[in-house]
Structure 1
Amino acid sequence: MTTVRAAPARTGVSAARVLRAEWTKLTSLPSNAWLALGTVVAAAGTAYGLGLFVQPGDGRSGSWVVTSGFVLAQVGFLVLGVLVGAGEHTTGTARTTFATVPRRLPVLGAQVVVTAVAALLTALAALGVSVLATAPARAGDAPALDLSVPGAARALLGFALASVAVAVLGTGLGALLRRPAEALVSGVLLLVVGEHVLAMNPGRVTDTLRAFLPSSGARLVQDDAALAALDAATLGPRLGTWGGGVVVAAWVLVVLAAAAYRLVRHDVR
Structure 2
Amino acid sequence: MSHLLDRAAGSTTAPERGSDRGPTLPHVLAAEWTKITSLRSTSWLAVATVVAAAGLAFGLGLFVRPGDAGSGASLAVTGHVLAQFGPLVLGVLVGTGEYATGTFRATFTAVPRRLPVLAGQAVVTAGWGAVTAAAAVGASLLVTSGQRAGAGFVVDAADAETVRLLAGYVLHQTGVALLGLAIGALLRRATGAFVTAVMLLLVLDQFLAANPGRFTDLLRALLPAAGARMVQGDAQVAALDATSFGPDLGAWGGGLVLLLWVIALLGAAAYRLRRHDLS
Normalised to the residue count of structure 1, the TM-score between the two structures is 0.92
- Whether contact under 8 Å (2:94, 2:121) holds in the other structure is yes
The 4+ residue runs of structure 1 with deviation greater than 6 A are none
Q: Which residue of 1 aligns with 2:16?
A: 10
8 A contact 1:51–1:142 mirrored in 2: no
Q: Which residue of 2 aligns with 1:225?
A: 234
CA RMSD of the aligned region, Å? 1.7
Q: Unaligned 5+ residue runs, structure 1?
A: 1-7
1:188 aligns with 2:195: no
Unmatched runs of 5 consecutive residues or more in structure 2: 1-13
Match of 1:130 in 2: 140
Aligned to 2:189: 179
Conserved 8 A contact 2:28-2:120:
yes
* Aligned counterpart for 2:55 among listed residues 37, 45, 54: 45
Question: What is the rounded CA distance, in whole Å, between the counterparts of 1:263 and 1:228 in structure 2?
Answer: 38
1:61 has 2:71 as partner: yes
1:32 aligns with 2:42: yes
Residues 59-103 of structure 1 show CA distances to partners (whole Å, capped at 9, x for unaligned) of 212111001100110111100111111111111101110111111
Structure 1 or 2: more helix by fraction: 2
**TM-score when normalising by structure 2:** 0.89
- Give distance in 2, aligned partners of 1:32 and 1:261: 27
Change in 2 beyond 3 A, CA 1:25/1:106: same
**Amino acid aligned to 1:145:** V
Q: Mean alpha-carbon deviation: is it higher for 29-38 or for 199-208?
A: 199-208
The residue that corresponds to 1:5 in the other structure is none
> Number of matched residues?
261
Q: Distance in 2 between matches of 1:9 and 1:19?
A: 15
Are 2:76 and 2:141, in contact at CA under 8 Å, matched by a contact in 1? yes
AA in 2 matched with 1:231: L
- Once the two structures are superposed, residues 38-79 of structure 1 have per-residue CA deviations (whole angstroms, 9 ceiling, x without a partner) of 011000001111122233444212111001100110111100
The Cα offsets for residues 153-183 of structure 1, whole Å up to 9 and x where unpaired, read as 1110000011110001111011000011111
Aligned to 2:101: 91
Instruction: Give distance in 2, aligned partners of 1:167 and 1:25.
Output: 17
Counterpart CA distance in 1 for 2:134 and 2:88 is: 16
- For 1:80, the equivalent position in structure 2 comes to 90
